[in-house]
Amino acid sequence: MDRPKATPLVALSVALALCAATAVEAEGLPAVDFEVLADARLSVVSGEQSWFDDWLGKLRYGGDRGGEGQGRFRLAELSLMARSDITWDLQAFVHAKFDPEQDKPADLVEAFLHYKPVPTSSVQYEARAGLLFPHISRENIGAAWTSPFTITPSAINSWVGEEIRALALEGKATLRLENQKLSLTAAVFGFNDPAGSLLAIRGWALGDYKTGAFSQVPLAPVPSIQPGGFLEDQPLWVHPVRELDGRPGFYASLDWDYAKRVKLGAFYYDNRGDPETFKHNQYAWDTRFWNFYAEVEAPAGIKIMSQFMTGNTMMGTLYDGMRMVDADFTAGYVMATRKLGPHRISLRRDWFDVDDNTFVSQDNNNEVGTAWTLAFNAKVGKKANLIAEFLHVDSNRPAREGIWRDAEQDQTQLQVSYRQRF
Amino acid sequence: MKFRMLALVFGLMGPQVAAADLAVEIRDSGGQPVPNAVVSFAPKFTLTQPVPASASAEMRQEGTMFSPFVLPVQVGTTVSFPNFDEFRHQVYSFSKPKRFELRLYGQDESKTIHFENSGVVALGCNIHDNMLAYIYVSEHPIVAKTGEDGKVLVQSLEPGEYDIHIWHPDLASGADPILKSVSVSADGRTVSGQINLRSIRSIQQPPAEDDYN
């Protein structure tokens, strides 16, 4: 297995940490602030094996090989976040993580500089540079890119955590009017060429795993990516954070906030991958998508949140004018959430779909599915939360027949998560 | 939606013949009290006794919030900005009467700003987006602010005629309600006024519980 070359990212993160540490002493600012998030997880789940066990299960944890339910008690995540104020306007942020699924003992989730000078008019400018999550997820607003609403993010944001990361240069301008805020964000980025592999070959999933920058994630051994298969060059893994074709991508978004009661936004991403580039055992995937969101403060303290994502990914050479893989993907969710004192209850409905446009008889990537998620997040200490979650997912994926399972599968999962921050 | 603000000005018998206490009550059209309304008094005569100017005032940073939300001061006042939080605040304003940036490193650190021009100074914190407050710098010698009950008692006013200016963060733009020629005397009277407020109120929200970045 070809291990990725980590040099540029390691150099970046070390440089960030060093310049942070030295500048801090000169300014007399607080030294580097560290924060740790530990997540202990009890899970009971029915149905097929997880995709982490080289299968096509939709959840982070799955049943055993015979489809029998499984219970587990695990450390789901240990995240270390470091923030340092280099100057009053410039902050460095690094997030590194350990978890059992990750194929490196520790890996980098984000490492970037954030420049935000004090506004001198009603337009404020800011910039971020480094390895970062574009602001797509409306759910992952908690410490270490967790969701305070549920343990498991929606299908959309599960995928963002798995495959979307950008080594980006991002600028943002925010116009503040009396009760409104309008923001325009634009970025150029690299190191996200394989993004889209999981959506095509595995499909959508629901899980809170975030892929580290140097880590690979597994693909189920479906016949098309086996030796002699239609896509035999594709290994049984993906390393999402890689530059392969030397072509920068871009993303841009427009966000509107009306008196914190209504929030609307549109985001567009194009990694401008060259679908014919194959390097380091990885294809560059040409992945483009829109993400839209709406958040409304409804009566009775209920907040309604919704995201809708639609896009396309392509990979491989052209045959008769058709790409080896050409798949449209769409997903959405609607969530109702309400605070109950310091606690929170959330109910979410997910829909997801992949439409394979080419060579379906050799390599069927079609999929359709839905999920229900109900979670109660109890604040049990100043920096401690206990979250209980019920999740049921139904999906139909004909590719399962290639690994001797029925296309139609469902899974029910109960999880209890104890999140402690230090 | 338009809200009506009703200002009731009661002149009450003062402790001395030469001074009166004035209770001001401000409500909206639904009868709800309006807190954080600034009332400033412009005398239409020459005050015989100079009003002692409040030389200092305080805008605290505490629990990732500004306190108070509205601070009325007179022109020439020096406002101190003490930080009661264990972390930094970067307080700024780009309002015309006073543009400034204050860097407050940590707990118990305090810095001051002198306000020499009248007008509304909106405050923000560059680090904590939720923080919001207003300093109303008045050119008038007497300023007061309504409490949670929409009332304020202005003590020891010199009897005579005043224009009473009312300001609130949610005043519809352009509106500058004035209760004209209010006569303050020992036997008291009632004055009512009507102003328009924006339907969406500016509020300073508490900080989000665990912001990622």
Percent of the residues in chain B that have a pLDDT greater than 90, as a whole number = 41
Residue A285: closest CA among A162, A192, A190: A192
Residue range A8-27: mean pLDDT, rounded: 51
Question: Which domains are assigned to chain A?
Answer: 32-421 (2.40.160.10)
User: Which chain B residues are closer than 8 Å to A261 by Cβ?
Assistant: 200
Q: What is the pLDDT of residue A29?
A: 59
pLDDT above 70 coverage of chain A, percent: 93
Which of A255-269, A376-390, B189-203 is the least confident region?
A: B189-203
Banded model confidence at residue A362, pLDDT cuts 50, 70, 90: confident
Among residues A45, A176, A142, which one has the least CA distance to residue B94?
A176
Alpha helix stretches (DSSP H) within A164-314: 197
Q: Is the pLDDT of residue B211 over 60?
A: no
Instruction: Say whether pLDDT at A157 is over 90.
Output: yes
Predicted pLDDT of residue B199? 77
Report the pLDDT value the prediction gives residue B195, as an integer from 0 to 100: 64
Distance CA A416, CA A414 (A): 7
Q: CA A161, CA B110: separation in Å to the nearest integer?
A: 42
Q: How far is B193 from chain A (nearest CA, A)?
A: 25
- Closest partner CB to A121 (pick from B87, B94, B213): B94
pLDDT of residue B50: 74
Residue B213 confidence (pLDDT) above 50: no
What is the distance between the alpha carbons of residues A265 and A260, in angstroms, rounded to a whole number?
Answer: 13
Cβ contacts below 8 Å, chain A against chain B, sum to: 51
B212 to A30: CB separation less than 8 angstroms, yes or no: no
Q: Is A18 on the interface with B (CB under 8 A)?
A: no
pLDDT reported for residue B175: 66
- Name chain A contacts of B170, Cβ cutoff 8 Å: none
Local confidence band at B135 (pLDDT 50, 70, 90 cut-offs): very high
Q: Does A149 contact chain B (CB < 8 Å)? A: no
A260 part of contact set with chain B, CB < 8 Å: yes
A118·B92 Cβ contact <8 A: yes
Residue A178 and residue B87: Cβ atoms within 8 Å? no
Identify which of B126, B200, B210 has the shortest CB distance to residue A179.
Answer: B200
Q: For chain B, what are the domain ranges?
A: 6-46+142-184, 56-138
Q: How confident is the model at residue B1, as a pLDDT? A: 37
Predicted pLDDT of residue B5: 44
DSSP for B67-124, written as a single string:
ESSEEEEETTEEEEEEB-SSS-EEEEEEETTEEEEEEE-STT-EEEEEE-S-EEEEEE
What is the third-level CATH fold of B6-46+142-184?
Immunoglobulin-like (2.60.40)
User: What is the predicted pLDDT for the residue at B2?
Assistant: 41
> Which has the minimum average pLDDT: A223-237, B25-39, B69-83?
B25-39
The answer to whether residue B7 scores a pLDDT higher than 60 is: no
From B94, B173, B213, residue closest to A93, measured CB to CB: B213
Q: What is the pLDDT of residue A4?
A: 42
Alpha carbons B193 and B40: distance in angstroms, whole number: 14
| Interchain contact, B99 vs A120, CB within 8 Å | yes
Q: Given pLDDT bands bounded at 50, 70 and 90, which one contains residue A130? A: very high
- Inform me whether the C-beta atom of residue B46 falls under 8 Å from chain A C-beta atoms: no
Q: Is A338 helix (H, G, I), strand (E, B) or coil?
A: strand
A263 within 8 A of A257, measured Cβ to Cβ: yes
Cβ pair B126:A148 closer than 8 A: no
Confidence of residue B80 (pLDDT cuts 50, 70, 90): very high
Token pair of B31 as six digits = 């009868």
**Residue ranges of B 2-41 with Cβ closer than 8 A to chain A:** none
Provide the pLDDT confidence category of residue B200 given band limits of 50, 70 and 90.
Answer: confident
Distance from B36 to chain A by nearest Cα, in Å? 18
Residues of A in contact with B125 (CB under 8 A): none
DSSP line for A262-306: EEEEEEEEE----TT-EETTEEPPEEEEEEEEEEEE-STTEEEEE
Instruction: Using an 8 Å CB-CB cutoff, list chain B residues near A260.
Output: 205
* Chain A residue closest in CA terms to B170: A178
Report the residue of chain A nearest B209, measured CA to CA: A142
Under an 8 A CB cutoff, do B200 and A259 touch?
Answer: yes
Whether A201 and A222 have beta carbons less than 8 Å apart is answered as yes
In the predicted structure, residue A2 carries a pLDDT above the cut 50: no
Q: What is the pLDDT of residues B43-72, one digit of tens each?
A: 998 888 777 766 679 999 999 999 999 999
Selected residue with higher pLDDT from B90 and B197: B90
Model pLDDT, residue B51: 73
Enumerate the residues of chain B whose CB falls inside 8 A of the CB of residue A141.
208, 211-212
Prediction pTM value: 0.89
Average pLDDT across chain A, whole number: 92
Mean pLDDT of A259-270: 95
Domains B6-46+142-184 and B56-138 share a fold: yes
Residues of B in contact with A85 (CB under 8 A): 88
Choose among A331, A173, A161: nearest CA to A253. Answer: A173
Query: How would residue A66 be classed by pLDDT, with cut points 50, 70 and 90?
Result: confident
pLDDT at A6: 45
pLDDT at B193 over 90: no
pLDDT exceeds cutoff 80 at B196: no
Give Cα B171 to chain centroid, integer Å: 13
pLDDT of residue B13: 40
Residue A19 pLDDT > 60: no
Mean pLDDT along residues A271-300: 96
Q: In the structure, what pLDDT confidence band is assigned to residue A415 with cuts at 50, 70 and 90? A: very high
pLDDT at A401 over 80: yes
A178 with B90: Cβ contact below 8 A: no
Topology classification of domain B56-138: Immunoglobulin-like (2.60.40)
Residues 305-324 of A with CB under 8 A from B: none
Among A43-47, A75-79, B207-211, the least confident range: B207-211
* Shortest Cα–Cα distance, A144 to chain B (Å): 6
